[in-house]
Amino acid sequence: MSYVTGWGEQHARNQHSRIFAHQLDPNLPNPPAGSLAGGPNAALQDPYAAQLLAGCKPMFCYVDDINSYATNEVAINWNSALAWLASFLADQSDAGAVPARSCAATYQVHGAWPDGFNTQVTIRNTGTSAVNGWTVRYAFTGDQKVEQAWTAQVSQFGATVTARNLAYNGMIPPGGSVTFGLLGKAGTLANPAPNLITLNGAACTLS
Protein backbone atom coordinates (compact mmCIF):
# COMPACT_ATOMS: atom_id res chain seq x y z
CA MET A 1 0.00 0.00 0.00
CA SER A 2 1.31 3.41 -0.99
CA TYR A 3 0.21 6.20 1.33
CA VAL A 4 0.70 8.78 -1.45
CA THR A 5 -2.36 9.27 -3.67
CA GLY A 6 -1.79 8.38 -7.31
CA TRP A 7 1.57 6.69 -6.64
CA GLY A 8 1.77 2.92 -7.01
CA GLU A 9 -0.62 0.18 -8.06
CA GLN A 10 -2.42 0.27 -4.69
CA HIS A 11 -2.57 3.69 -3.09
CA ALA A 12 -4.61 5.76 -0.65
CA ARG A 13 -7.72 7.36 -2.17
CA ASN A 14 -9.95 8.42 0.72
CA GLN A 15 -7.72 10.43 3.00
CA HIS A 16 -9.31 12.26 5.92
CA SER A 17 -10.10 15.78 4.73
CA ARG A 18 -12.99 18.21 4.94
CA ILE A 19 -12.21 19.59 1.49
CA PHE A 20 -11.38 16.44 -0.50
CA ALA A 21 -14.33 14.41 0.78
CA HIS A 22 -15.58 12.57 -2.29
CA GLN A 23 -16.15 9.39 -0.27
CA LEU A 24 -18.84 11.19 1.73
CA ASP A 25 -20.10 13.64 -0.89
CA PRO A 26 -19.79 12.74 -4.61
CA ASN A 27 -19.94 16.47 -5.43
CA LEU A 28 -16.56 16.96 -3.76
CA PRO A 29 -13.20 15.82 -5.23
CA ASN A 30 -10.87 13.08 -4.07
CA PRO A 31 -7.54 14.16 -2.58
CA PRO A 32 -5.17 15.31 -5.35
CA ALA A 33 -2.39 13.06 -6.58
CA GLY A 34 0.75 13.41 -4.51
CA SER A 35 -0.86 13.94 -1.10
CA LEU A 36 0.46 11.85 1.78
CA ALA A 37 -1.68 10.07 4.37
CA GLY A 38 -0.48 9.65 7.94
CA GLY A 39 -0.13 5.89 7.54
CA PRO A 40 -0.11 3.06 10.10
CA ASN A 41 -0.77 4.12 13.68
CA ALA A 42 -1.02 1.43 16.33
CA ALA A 43 -2.53 3.92 18.80
CA LEU A 44 -5.85 3.84 16.87
CA GLN A 45 -7.05 7.14 18.36
CA ASP A 46 -10.18 7.46 16.21
CA PRO A 47 -13.30 5.33 16.84
CA TYR A 48 -13.48 4.06 13.25
CA ALA A 49 -9.96 2.62 13.27
CA ALA A 50 -10.30 1.39 16.85
CA GLN A 51 -13.40 -0.63 16.03
CA LEU A 52 -12.10 -1.99 12.72
CA LEU A 53 -8.44 -2.66 13.56
CA ALA A 54 -8.39 -3.65 17.23
CA GLY A 55 -5.41 -5.94 17.87
CA CYS A 56 -3.67 -5.13 14.58
CA LYS A 57 0.08 -5.51 14.18
CA PRO A 58 1.65 -2.02 14.07
CA MET A 59 2.41 -1.84 10.35
CA PHE A 60 -1.09 -3.15 9.52
CA CYS A 61 -2.88 -0.51 11.61
CA TYR A 62 -4.13 1.46 8.63
CA VAL A 63 -7.43 1.89 6.82
CA ASP A 64 -8.06 3.93 3.68
CA ASP A 65 -11.27 5.55 4.87
CA ILE A 66 -12.11 9.20 5.32
CA ASN A 67 -13.38 8.52 8.85
CA SER A 68 -9.96 7.42 10.11
CA TYR A 69 -8.14 10.57 11.12
CA ALA A 70 -5.65 8.54 13.19
CA THR A 71 -4.26 6.66 10.17
CA ASN A 72 -5.44 8.47 7.05
CA GLU A 73 -5.29 12.20 7.73
CA VAL A 74 -3.77 14.68 5.26
CA ALA A 75 -1.69 17.08 7.35
CA ILE A 76 0.79 19.81 6.50
CA ASN A 77 3.54 18.50 8.80
CA TRP A 78 4.20 15.30 6.83
CA ASN A 79 3.15 16.64 3.43
CA SER A 80 5.67 19.47 3.79
CA ALA A 81 8.40 16.87 4.32
CA LEU A 82 7.25 14.95 1.23
CA ALA A 83 7.27 18.15 -0.83
CA TRP A 84 10.81 18.96 0.33
CA LEU A 85 12.11 15.49 -0.52
CA ALA A 86 10.42 15.51 -3.93
CA SER A 87 11.90 18.94 -4.69
CA PHE A 88 15.36 17.80 -3.57
CA LEU A 89 15.25 14.73 -5.83
CA ALA A 90 13.94 16.75 -8.78
CA ASP A 91 16.81 19.22 -8.37
CA GLN A 92 19.49 16.55 -8.63
CA SER A 93 19.54 16.69 -12.43
CA ASP A 94 20.26 20.42 -12.25
CA ALA A 95 23.01 19.81 -9.69
CA GLY A 96 25.16 17.79 -12.05
CA ALA A 97 23.56 14.41 -12.77
CA VAL A 98 22.61 15.82 -16.19
CA PRO A 99 25.15 18.61 -16.89
CA ALA A 100 23.42 19.93 -20.01
CA ARG A 101 19.86 19.41 -21.09
CA SER A 102 19.76 17.91 -24.56
CA CYS A 103 16.03 18.00 -25.22
CA ALA A 104 13.18 20.48 -25.31
CA ALA A 105 9.55 19.54 -24.69
CA THR A 106 6.31 21.21 -25.69
CA TYR A 107 3.00 20.19 -24.10
CA GLN A 108 -0.03 21.54 -25.96
CA VAL A 109 -3.71 21.20 -25.17
CA HIS A 110 -5.64 21.12 -28.45
CA GLY A 111 -9.05 20.73 -26.90
CA ALA A 112 -10.78 20.40 -23.55
CA TRP A 113 -14.34 19.61 -22.53
CA PRO A 114 -16.04 18.91 -19.18
CA ASP A 115 -14.93 15.29 -18.93
CA GLY A 116 -11.99 15.06 -21.33
CA PHE A 117 -9.08 16.67 -23.15
CA ASN A 118 -6.80 16.27 -26.18
CA THR A 119 -3.07 16.92 -25.75
CA GLN A 120 0.04 16.70 -27.88
CA VAL A 121 3.65 16.40 -26.71
CA THR A 122 6.61 17.26 -28.93
CA ILE A 123 10.17 16.32 -27.94
CA ARG A 124 13.05 18.00 -29.80
CA ASN A 125 16.62 16.68 -29.67
CA THR A 126 18.79 19.69 -28.85
CA GLY A 127 21.93 17.61 -28.36
CA THR A 128 24.71 16.75 -30.79
CA SER A 129 24.06 13.01 -31.06
CA ALA A 130 21.03 11.04 -32.18
CA VAL A 131 18.59 9.53 -29.71
CA ASN A 132 18.10 5.87 -30.59
CA GLY A 133 15.01 4.73 -28.72
CA TRP A 134 13.11 7.07 -26.45
CA THR A 135 10.96 7.00 -23.34
CA VAL A 136 9.14 10.17 -22.31
CA ARG A 137 7.61 10.57 -18.85
CA TYR A 138 5.57 13.18 -17.06
CA ALA A 139 2.96 13.17 -14.31
CA PHE A 140 -0.59 14.43 -14.14
CA THR A 141 -1.19 16.68 -11.17
CA GLY A 142 -4.82 15.66 -10.76
CA ASP A 143 -6.83 12.51 -11.37
CA GLN A 144 -6.69 12.51 -15.19
CA LYS A 145 -6.61 9.21 -17.08
CA VAL A 146 -5.18 8.30 -20.50
CA GLU A 147 -7.84 6.76 -22.72
CA GLN A 148 -6.27 6.71 -26.20
CA ALA A 149 -2.92 7.62 -27.77
CA TRP A 150 -1.24 7.76 -31.16
CA THR A 151 2.33 7.67 -32.58
CA ALA A 152 3.61 6.28 -29.28
CA GLN A 153 2.98 3.41 -26.90
CA VAL A 154 1.46 5.22 -23.94
CA SER A 155 0.71 3.76 -20.52
CA GLN A 156 -0.22 5.20 -17.15
CA PHE A 157 0.89 4.04 -13.71
CA GLY A 158 -0.70 6.06 -10.96
CA ALA A 159 -0.23 9.68 -11.97
CA THR A 160 2.80 8.96 -14.19
CA VAL A 161 2.36 8.86 -17.97
CA THR A 162 5.01 6.94 -19.94
CA ALA A 163 5.29 7.17 -23.73
CA ARG A 164 7.66 4.92 -25.69
CA ASN A 165 8.59 5.01 -29.35
CA LEU A 166 7.02 2.76 -31.94
CA ALA A 167 9.08 0.68 -34.35
CA TYR A 168 9.25 3.41 -36.99
CA ASN A 169 9.96 6.55 -34.92
CA GLY A 170 12.61 5.54 -32.39
CA MET A 171 15.38 7.65 -33.91
CA ILE A 172 15.52 11.39 -33.15
CA PRO A 173 18.47 13.01 -34.97
CA PRO A 174 20.13 16.17 -33.63
CA GLY A 175 17.72 19.02 -34.27
CA GLY A 176 14.93 16.55 -35.01
CA SER A 177 11.71 16.01 -33.10
CA VAL A 178 9.00 13.48 -32.40
CA THR A 179 5.37 14.13 -31.53
CA PHE A 180 2.70 12.00 -29.90
CA GLY A 181 -0.83 12.75 -28.77
CA LEU A 182 -3.47 11.39 -26.47
CA LEU A 183 -7.07 11.65 -25.46
CA GLY A 184 -7.63 11.75 -21.73
CA LYS A 185 -10.49 11.61 -19.28
CA ALA A 186 -10.60 14.68 -17.09
CA GLY A 187 -11.09 14.17 -13.38
CA THR A 188 -12.61 16.40 -10.76
CA LEU A 189 -9.42 18.45 -10.27
CA ALA A 190 -7.61 21.07 -12.32
CA ASN A 191 -5.78 19.94 -15.47
CA PRO A 192 -2.60 22.05 -15.77
CA ALA A 193 0.34 21.25 -18.02
CA PRO A 194 3.11 19.22 -16.36
CA ASN A 195 6.12 21.19 -15.14
CA LEU A 196 8.57 18.31 -15.66
CA ILE A 197 8.93 16.18 -18.80
CA THR A 198 11.85 13.76 -19.13
CA LEU A 199 13.45 12.03 -22.11
CA ASN A 200 15.18 8.76 -21.20
CA GLY A 201 15.37 9.93 -17.60
CA ALA A 202 16.79 13.42 -18.28
CA ALA A 203 14.72 16.54 -17.74
CA CYS A 204 13.87 18.50 -20.87
CA THR A 205 13.64 22.25 -21.17
CA LEU A 206 9.97 23.21 -21.40
CA SER A 207 8.99 25.43 -24.30
Mean pLDDT of the chain: 90
Query: Which residue is catalytic, options 46, 65, 73, 143?
Result: 73
Question: Does this model's pTM top 0.75?
Answer: no
Say yes or no: 112 and 85 in one domain.
no
Backbone angles phi, psi at 78, to 5 degrees: -90, -25
In this prediction, residue 95 carries a pLDDT of: 46
Domain boundary among 91, 122, 153: 91
Residues contacting residue 144 through CB under 8 Å, at least 6 positions apart: 117, 184, 185, 186, 187, 191
Q: Domain of residue 49: give its range.
A: 1-91
Q: Residue 153: give its domain's CATH number.
A: 2.60.40.290
Say yes or no: 14 and 83 in one domain.
yes
For residue 93, the SS3 value is helix
Say yes or no: 174 and 123 in one domain.
yes
In this prediction, residue 97 carries a pLDDT of: 44
Say yes or no: 86 and 104 in one domain.
no
Could you confirm whether 73 is annotated as catalytic? yes
In this prediction, residue 107 carries a pLDDT of: 96
Domain boundary among 32, 60, 91: 91
> How does pLDDT run across 6-56, given as a tens digit for each residue?
888 889 999 999 889 999 999 999 898 899 999 999 999 999 999 999 999
Could you confirm whether 147 is annotated as catalytic? no
In this prediction, residue 96 carries a pLDDT of: 46
Say yes or no: 71 and 120 in one domain.
no
pLDDT at 98 over 50: no
pLDDT at 162 over 70: yes
DSSP percent split of the chain into helix, strand, coil, nearest 5: 15, 35, 50
Domain boundary among 31, 56, 91: 91
Query: Which residue is catalytic, options 64, 65, 91, 143?
Result: 64
Which of 75, 114, 117, 96 lies closest to 203, judged by CA? 96
In this prediction, residue 99 carries a pLDDT of: 45
Number of domains in the chain: 2
Say yes or no: 108 and 198 in one domain.
yes
In this prediction, residue 93 carries a pLDDT of: 55
Say yes or no: 2 and 30 in one domain.
yes
Say yes or no: 116 and 63 in one domain.
no
For residue 97, the SS3 value is helix
Q: Are the C-beta atoms of residues 120 and 138 closer than 8 Å to each other?
A: no
> How does pLDDT run across 62-97, given as a tens digit for each residue?
999 999 999 999 999 999 999 988 887 776 655 444
Residues contacting residue 46 through CB under 8 Å, at least 6 positions apart: 67, 68, 69, 70, 71
